[in-house]
Structure formats: structure tokens, C-alpha cells
Structure 1
Amino acid sequence: MGQTFEDLEIWKRGCRLAVATYEVLADAKDWGLRDQMQRAAVSVPSNIAEGYERTPKDFIRFLVIAKGSCAELRTQTYIAERVKLLPPDQCKPLIDESKQLSRMIQALINNRKQSLIT
């Protein structure tokens, strides 16, 4: 593992996902859904960073929260597409990246849990 949370690829990708979410929602008029999506997106790298700075057990807990935020963002993106807040070509990259990031977070959770056992 890296020396700081900034060295973690999942943190970097989480930040990129948050920025991409802000960019696609820049002109969105549905303030409620826009706010929820932005908060979920920002929550991913924020929880990774916060957990990293805590105990190993806490880090796992915060990774689980970050993974949940990925699922939340994905759900909200599906809704944004269905209510025509965002077009499908803007939703697909967010959905695909949040799925990939969820898998990466789960792999790190598994790795960290194994490290606690051994």
C-alpha cells in the first residue's frame, strides 16, 4: 500500500469520478438529484481518504462506505437517465466507472481483511 491516501489508485479514480459527475451535471436543473449525485460522488474518495488515516479496521469500514456510495451514485445515474436529466451517452461512463471502482474497492477490502487475519 502507498505512503499516503493520495498514492492509492482507488482514491485517484474516485476523485476523477467525482469531477466527471460535477462536469456532466453542470447544467442540470434538477437541484435535488444533482446535489445527491454530487454528494455520493464526493463521498467515494472522501471516505477512502478518511479511512486511510484511521486504524486498519476503520479503513475497511470506510472502504465499505465508499463502495456503498458508488452504488448510490450508480442508482442515481440510472434515475437521472430515466427522467431525462442526463442523456445515455453521459450516464454510461459514470455507471461503468462506478462499477469498476466498486470492484477495485472490494478487492482492497478483501486484501485488508486478509492482512488483519495474518
Structure 2
Amino acid sequence: MATIKRFEDLEIWQEARKLAKEIHQISLSTPLKTDFRLQQQIKASSGSIMDNIAEGFERDGNTEFRQYLAIAKGSSGETRSQLYRLLDYEYISEKQFVDLKKQYENLSGKIQNFMAYLNKQDFKGTKFR
């Protein structure tokens, strides 16, 4: 694996950013725009994924990074749960729901795989040098 120097280089962060933008677009273009509480909840949980990946990376320790990745993975599950409400409230179509749910499931799997990779590394992080 190539050395990653910035969190922006992480594929999981890039995907989380793209998905957070999709959620934002839904909040502007669907009836979700008037459901302020749900709008804020899903925007917060989707944004939390990329933010926790970034924060964990910036802490410069693999143990803390894995901990923040676990939080990011949890936020991905929270966002998926909220997608069901968007579907049930008819804010998004079945097709949009299926597509977004699949993308969030894939992202969760990639976060899990990255956590597993870090678990196997002897390197503890730059702050322990």
C-alpha cells in the first residue's frame, strides 16, 4: 500500500465526501427541504463519516485512527437507517434508496477492510516515533 500523507488521499474519505454531497443535494431538491429535523440529522450523519475519517487520520496514531474509523462506520449505518425514513416518507424514490443504500454499504465495507488492514500493521503512528 502506498504511503498516504493526507486524509484527502484516502479513497474512503473521498467516497464519504461524494455521498455527503449527494445527501445535501437531496436535501435541496426533494420535500426533505421542509423536514428540517430529519434534514439536519441525515446531513450530520453523512458528514460525520468524512469528518471522523479526517480527525482520526490527523491524530497520527493507528489505535486512535481505528477508533475514529469505527465511529465513521457507525455514522454510515446511521445514515443508511435514515435513508429508510426518506423512502418511507416518500422523499426519495425506491431507485434512489437502493442506489444510496448500496453505496453506503460498500463504504462501510471499505472502512471495515481498512480497519482490518491497520489491525495487522506493526506501525503505531507518527506520533510514536
* 1: CA distance, partners of 2:42 / 2:100: 11
Query: 1:21 maps to which residue?
Result: 23
Residues 22-65 of structure 1, C-alpha deviations (whole Å, 9 max, x = no match): 01121422111111000000000100000001121100000000
* 2: CA distance, partners of 1:44 / 1:36: 13
Query: 1:53 maps to which residue?
Result: 58
1:35 and 2:37 correspond: no
Residues 58-117 of structure 1, C-alpha deviations (whole Å, 9 max, x = no match): 000000000000000000001110121222222222211100000000000001111148
Question: Is the Cα–Cα contact under 8 Å of residues 62 and 123 in structure 2 kept in the other structure?
Answer: no
Paired letter, 2:119: K
Q: Which runs of 4+ in 1 moved over 4 A?
A: none
Give the RMSD, CA atoms, in angstroms: 1.6
Q: Mapping of 1:101-116 within 5 angstroms? A: 101-116=107-122
* 1: CA distance, partners of 2:122 / 2:17: 27
Paired letter, 2:70: V
Question: Is the Cα–Cα contact under 8 Å of residues 24 and 90 in structure 1 kept in the other structure?
Answer: no
Query: 1:92 maps to which residue?
Result: 98
Paired letter, 2:109: R
* 1: CA distance, partners of 2:38 / 2:95: 18
Question: Is the Cα–Cα contact under 8 Å of residues 30 and 85 in structure 1 kept in the other structure?
Answer: no
Over alpha carbons, which structure has the higher Rg?
2
Kindly, what percent of the aligned residue pairs are identical? Answer: 31
* 2: CA distance, partners of 1:72 / 1:39: 10
